[in-house]
Amino acid sequence: MAITGRAVALALLGVLVVLLSPAPGLTMLLVDLVVVGLVAIDLTLAGGVRTLEFTRSGPTSARLDQPVPLVLGIANDGARTVHARVRDAWPPSAGARPRVHRVVVPAGERRFLETTLYPTRRGDREPFRITVRSLGPLGLAGRQGRHHCPWRVRVLPPFTSRRHLPAALARLREIEGEVAIRGAGAGSEFDSLRDYVIGDDVRLIDWRGTARRGAVVVRTFRPERDRRVVCVLDTGRTSAGRVGDVPRLDHALDAALLLTAVALRAGDRVGLIAHDSAPRVTLPGSHDHAFLARMTDAMARLEPAIVEADHAGIVSTVLRETSRRSLVVLFTELVPAVIEEGLLPALGTLTARHTVVVAALRDPRVDELAAGRDDVRSVYAAAAAEQTLMRRRELTETLRRHGVEVVDAPPAGHAAAVADAYLTLKSLGRL
């Protein structure tokens, strides 16, 4: 049960009555008896909470920046009308609004409440509990009870880098030679034969075909298709650090999604591995276009783990999951602890079998610090930032010497830079 402000106001009125009464003790007793009696009557006449039935409907997944409209249905199977306050409680990061609904459900009828979620984080969100307070006709007191009505909304990564997709696909078509521009498509895989036109490279003439056909034909090439791309996400402690207001991991997810979208369009197989001290997610390669949705779904529940990533483990997982030569895009952080102690010792076996790209996120805050000249403290901070940047340069250099491509871009261009690196490698036929 629960009392309302009206009951308190009634008792407060009683204070005045008692103060002015000639027989205050008796009056007080009477006043309180009246209050208790009215509350008891109200409780008795209030509609039952247990006889309510709840149902839910609405979407089960949404991208991070989209509101999720959910409908909560209340059916009243009891004998009395229920004047209820309903709190459909969700975790704070689900951003459920409104917090409390007021609804009147006559006996035997059904009403629908609309709760809209404005999620602030990726991941699965489940409702906690539905609390109902059914007030009596006097509005002095009410019965309170709870219901459970399970649901799950999966909040997917926002994929904000979708806006880079048209540009990347345009570049892909250019590489594939599908657009009417100067020059043939890049690549080394044989595509087709066509008639020779003046200006074609004579080295491309296919003599055997020319002999068969009686006219001069040239070979055309296209970029290799059906290559393999593996996105490897380091979900260790370094991925938890926030750049802007978003963890590094979310930037990496965004970039991985763009890369996957482009690679799937280019006809390549894409796989996903998320790993910190143990493999978190492993999606085998696929060139199915629905793979992007599956990957988004798998990414929704990834969280940075506050452990040191096991790079030897990452490398062995990648080797285990890939049978053919692949492009391994490793989303990690360029700090000495990660690269020198973790990755470099294990890198040899990886680069021997695969093409490796390390995609790191450059923190604009460090650049900002490095430019600080306001006072002595900011100059010290600038020195620390310079040192950090210096270390990054050295590590980049070290990795390049090991034959690893390094993408080091600020958040605004990170996803596009990774997609560009992929397209460049593809056009060079290095996949």
Partner 1 sequence: MTASGTLAPGGTSADGVSPSAVRSGPRPPAVRRGVLVVAVVGALLLGFLLVTALVTRPAGRPALDPASAESDGTRALAQILRSRGVVVSPADAVPAGSAGQQDTLVVVRPGRLTHDALTGLLGRVWRGSDVVLVAPGDAVLDALDVGVVTADRQPADGGSDPRCAMPEAAAAGSVTIGGSRAFTRADDGDLGDMKLTLCYGDPPGAAQLAVLTPGRAAAGPAAGRLVLLGSADFLTNQELAHSGNAALALGLLARHPTLSWITPAADANGGVGTRSVAELLPAGFRWACLQAGVVLVLLALWRGRRLGPPVPEPLPVIVRAAETVEGRGRLYAAAHARDRAADALRAGTRVRLAERIGLPAFAGPGGAPGPDPVALVASISERAGRSPSEIGSLLYGSGMPPQTTGVPSPIGRARDRYQSRRLPPDVSRPPAQAADGGPGPRRGTGRPGERDAALLALARALDELDRQVGGR
Q: Could you give the string, one character per residue 317-336, with x where binding to partner 1 holds by CB under 8 A and - elsewhere?
A: --------------------
CA torsion sign for 276, 282, 287, 291 is: negative
Residues 330-369 within binding reach of partner 1 (CB under 8 A): 363, 365-366, 369
150 touching partner 1, by CB under 8 A: no
CA dihedral of residues 145, 151, 152, 153 (deg, nearest 10): -90
63 binds partner 1 (CB under 8 A): no
Tell which one of 293, 379, 412, 428 touches partner 1 (CB under 8 A).
Answer: 379
Positions in 11-30 near partner 1 (CB under 8 A): 11-12, 14-16, 18-22, 24-25, 27-28
Among positions 243, 329, 407, 423, the unique one binding partner 1 when judged by CB under 8 A: 243
User: Binding of partner 1 at residue 136 (CB under 8 A)?
Assistant: no
Quick check: helix, strand or coil at residue 17? helix
Residues numbered 153 to 192 that lie near partner 1 (CB under 8 A) are: none
Counting contacts by CB under 8 A, is residue 51 touching partner 1?
Answer: no
Residue found under tokens 């920046």: 65
Q: Is 93 a binder of partner 1 (CB under 8 A)?
A: yes
> Are 175 and 185 in contact, with CB atoms under 8 Å apart?
yes
In sequence order, what are the residues at sequence separation of 6 or more whose Cβ sits closer than 8 angstroms to the Cβ of residue 372?
378, 379, 381, 382, 385
Per CB under 8 A, the list member of 54, 118, 128, 196 interacting with partner 1 is 128
Number of residues counted as binding partner 1 (CB under 8 A): 76
What mask, x for binding partner 1 by CB under 8 A, covers residues 250 to 269? Answer: --------------------
Decide if residue 34 touches partner 1 (CB under 8 A).
Answer: no
Q: How far is the CB of 24 from partner 1 (least distance, A)?
A: 4
Looking at 306-410, list the stretches that DSSP marks H as alpha helix, in order from N- to C-terminal side: 311-321, 336-338, 344-353, 364-370, 376-401
Contact between 45 and 58 (Cβ < 8 Å): no
CA distance 391 to 335: 8
- The Cα 32–Cα 145 span in angstroms is 26
Structural tokens at position 8 = 């308190």
- Give min distance, CB of 229 to partner 1, in A: 26
